[in-house]
Every structure is written in structure tokens, then in C-alpha cells.
Amino acid sequence: MDVAYEWDRVAIPSSLRFFEHKWAKRNEPLCFSGVWRFRELLPFARPDQIVTIGEGQTMLQRADSLASYVGMRPGCVFLQYEGMNPSGSFKDNGMTAAFTHARIVGAKRAACASTGNTSASLAVYCSAAGALRAIIFIGSGKIAYGKLAQALDHGALTIQIAGDFDDAMARVQEVARQLGVYLVNSINPFRLEGQKTIIYRVLEGLDWQVPDWVVVPGGNLGNVSSFGKALAELRDLGLITRTPRLAVINAAGANTFFELTHKHGVTWNGGHWDRHKVQSYYQSMDMENLRAATIASAIEISRPVNLPKALRALAECGGVARAVTDQEIVDAKAKVGAGGMGCEPASAASVAGLRRLRLEGVVQPDERVVCILTGHQLKDPTATVAYHSSDPKTFAEVLGHRGVRRANFANRAVQVRNDLTEIIQAIEVYA
Ligand code: F0G
């Protein structure tokens, strides 16, 4: 389902610059929120129905050190840092919208299956805004500690299923149907309305100029679906004259979207996408007992629920899909961190994907590219510490079995005795 508007019945701004005056009213919650200050473009709720906790205060930053890493000219790579959201990931953009809708329909309980960030976001909204009880479904051992910590700390009912995200996603849909619980996964079209604002803020950060590419990690494919909708709407409303191209980056160990679009030729095809090909791909995965497996646990997903909408987004925006290895992901993540804004592994897939698209010559070095950093660095400290660790056992346990051979940009802690001379010597040598 999509949220569709009768645009002729709402007041549409004549230019995107209209939104700038909201900055002057930052004491008003609906102008402070980086989602709701664009509410004219997601007009499904009355102002008094909106639930906001100040989400979407995020920024676009030029990233020249990464530009050189990925093979682009200085000034051509930008990072849209969504880790600055209250729960530390882009999910809050969608959760505020889903929560608002849940309140409109009078829901009492809200549920999601999650690789961690959706559940953290739901838990934060339930505890901060009240009114709803959070129920979260997670795969056992599949969720990074930072995210699990949030769900537990914020008091969500946490159900750990003996299975992975795809199992949890299937079960939560059954439970939601049976118990009438409000589902906040990105299959919920209101979630995607909120996530459209990531694109609005990207444009805002570029002084309303349209970039050439937006690169985004792909898991359940909610973001790419919502970006496609946002851009098509802006184009149809005459607020932009062209759309950027979209690049969706899977992890190689969870590469359904890449396989289906790139290798099996599945396309939107005006809505007549080849369901049979998709079904037989899923059947072959089941027969070989292939499960998603990647260090980027946020996108460790084999059956993305937003597949059709993501196909539509690629068609609308001339998009492409790629898959990157865990080695490429952790190296890109270290480069992102060294450049100033840390991110979790899944987010770094966007940077690794851009590097690959440059190597293939799909992206040109002087095009303007925005990579979306979807989640905060502190979400998954285990991956970061293992990468920089000098202990081979820690490295092997977390990264080695995933095919990561080297930490190419490791910043190892220097071991010294508790001795002033030795400490000073170490500093003189290394700094
Ligand atoms: N990046 C991060 C940090 C995520 O948490 C997710 C998804 C994605 C990228 C992929 O986004 O699903 O819109 O393609 N995390 C979900 C969760 C699945 O449960 O937290 P997508």
C-alpha cells in the first residue's frame, strides 16, 4: 500500500525554499522536527495529532577524505548523517510518522520485527511519547549490542525468536493480524512517508540543488522505496526538474535485491514485475538453506518486504543495485570513522558501494554523490573494536569467519607498561 494524496486539495509550496522560514520557529516542535517542518509534503495528519520527539535534526556534510578513498574529486562526495537522530538511526524519521498514524487509529500496542534499529526506535518512541506498548521481535544472536541495550533500557517487551530476521518478520505479521497490534515495520506505508524527509534534508543541505546520485544501503528496502516516492512526488509537483539516480547497496551475504535486479533481470515493468521469478528465487534459496549472513547485521535480510516499491523506485530514478563484501564494508566503515563521522557497518555499505560504482565507471569522478549514513557508530561497538583490535582471536571471532582477511585501516591501541618514560616514548613515536 501507498499513502496517496489529493494534492489539489492541499496547499503546496511553490518552491522548496518555502521550508526555510521554519528554521526561524525552532521553539515550535513541529518546526523543530526535521520531519514535520516538511509536513506540507506528508499531509496525512492534523498538527494536534502529530507525535514528535525532535527527530530528523541531521546534517549533510562534505567528505573530501572519503572522496579520495572512493576515487571521486574533492567536493563531490557528501554524507547525510542520520545517526544524529534521537535513537541513533534514520528509523526515527519513519517512526514519528507511523506513531502519529497509530495514534490517529487509536492503537494500544505496536510491534515490529527488527535487526535492531527499528526496535530501538520503537522502544524510544513508546517510552518518550507513551500511549503505546512496544513489542519487538528479534532473531536470536542477530542484533548488535547497542541496539539490544536500547530496547531493553526503554522497556520494550522483547521477544527473541529462535531464527533470523526473515523468520521474525514473517511471525510478527501473523501476530499483528491475529492480535490487532499496530505494525511499524517499513511495510507500513506511513513509515515511508516520514523517511521521505531524508531526501528533503539532502536537498536542503545542497541548497536545493539535486545531486547526481543518492547511495543507500538496502535491507528491507524501505529507504529506497521512500526516496523514490519522495523524488517522484517532488518532480510531479514541479518542485524539482530532475531526479538523482539511486544506488542500492546490499551486503554480499544478503544480496537478494542485487541478484534479482542485476542478475535475474527483474524490473518494475510498469507494475507487472515478474512475481514468478522472485518466487522461484526464494524457493531456490530455501532448497539450498541459504540464510542471510553479514557483519552488517542491520541489513542481514534475504526477503525484503518492500521489494516491489524498491523496483518502482529504481525505475523512476534510473537506479542500480550492487553488493559489497564484508571486507569492503568494514574498510569503508573505518574510513568513514577516520573522516570524522562514525557509522555502523550497514551504513558503510553505501560508501563501499560508491567505491565499487566508481571502479566500474558507473559513477563519474565529478558527479555529485550523497551517501546515506543510516546508523550511529555506537550501535555496534563489537564490530568496531574487533576491526581495530590487535588480538587475533577477537578479530577472528567477529570478522575472520565472515571472510574479512585484514583490517586495512586499523588503528591499534598501543600497549605500554605503567611507566611514565615508556608512555612518553610511545607518544613521541606514534603521535
Ligand atoms: N541501515 C541501517 C543502520 C538499518 O538499521 C537498516 C534497516 C538499513 C540500513 C536498511 O534499511 O530496510 O530501509 O533497506 N534496519 C531494519 C531494522 C531492518 O530492523 O532495524 P532498509
Q: In the 3-class helix/strand/coil scheme, how is the chain assigned residue by residue? A: CCCCCCHHHCCCCCCHHHHHHHHHHCCCHHHHCCCHHHHHHCCCCCHHHCCCCCCCCCEEEECHHHHHHHCCCCCCEEEEEHHHCCCCECHHHHHHHHHHHHHHCCCCEEEEEECCHHHHHHHHHHHHHCCCEEEEEEECCCCCHHHHHHHHHCCCEEEEECCCHHHHHHHHHHHHHHHCCEECCCCCHHHHHHHHHHHHHHHHHCCCCCCCEEEEECCCCHHHHHHHHHHHHHHHCCCCCCCCEEEEEEECCECHHHHHHHHCCCCCHHHCCCHHHHHHHHHHHHHCCCCCCCCCHHHCCCCCCCHHHHHHHHHHHCCEEEEECHHHHHHHHHHHHHCCCCECHHHHHHHHHHHHHHHCCCCCCCCCEEEEECEEHHHCHHHHHHHHCCCHHHHHHHCHHHCCCCCCCCCCCCCCCCCHHHHHHHHHHHC
- CA 312 – ligand 1 centroid, Å: 19
- Ligand 1 atom nearest the C-alpha of 114 is 19
Identify the pLDDT of residue 5. 97
- Ligand 1 atom nearest the C-alpha of 226 is 13
- CA 75 – ligand 1 centroid, Å: 28
- Ligand 1 atom nearest the C-alpha of 112 is 19
Q: Whole-angstrom Cα distance, residue 271 to residue 248?
A: 19
In the block, which residue shows the cell 506513531? 99
Please count the residues of the chain: 431
Q: Whole-angstrom Cα distance, residue 98 to residue 191?
A: 5
Identify the pLDDT of residue 130. 83
**Which residues of the chain fall short of a pLDDT of 50?**
none
- Ligand 1 pocket test: pick from 93, 148, 223 the residue with the most ligand atoms within 8 Å of its Cβ: 223
Q: Whole-angstrom Cα distance, residue 349 to residue 282?
A: 23
Q: What is the pTM of this model?
A: 0.97
Query: Long-range contacts of range 46-50, CB-CB < 8 Å, 24 or more positions apart?
Result: 49/100, 49/103, 49/104, 50/96, 50/100
- CA 299 – ligand 1 centroid, Å: 6
| Ligand 1 pocket at CB < 6 A | 89, 91, 114-118, 186, 217-223, 298-299, 344, 346-347, 374-375
- Ligand 1 pocket test: pick from 114, 195, 374 the residue with the most ligand atoms within 8 Å of its Cβ: 374
Identify the pLDDT of residue 129. 85
Return the residue whose CA atom lies nearest to atom 10 of ligand 1. Answer: 219
- Ligand 1 atom nearest the C-alpha of 116 is 20
Question: Which amino acid type is present at position 90?
Answer: F
Identify the pLDDT of residue 120. 97
| 93-147 residue pLDDT tens | 999 999 999 999 999 999 999 999 999 999 999 999 887 999 999 998 889 999 9
Contact 171, 113 (CB under 8 A): yes
Q: Which of 317, 327, 137 is nearest to 215 (CA)?
A: 317
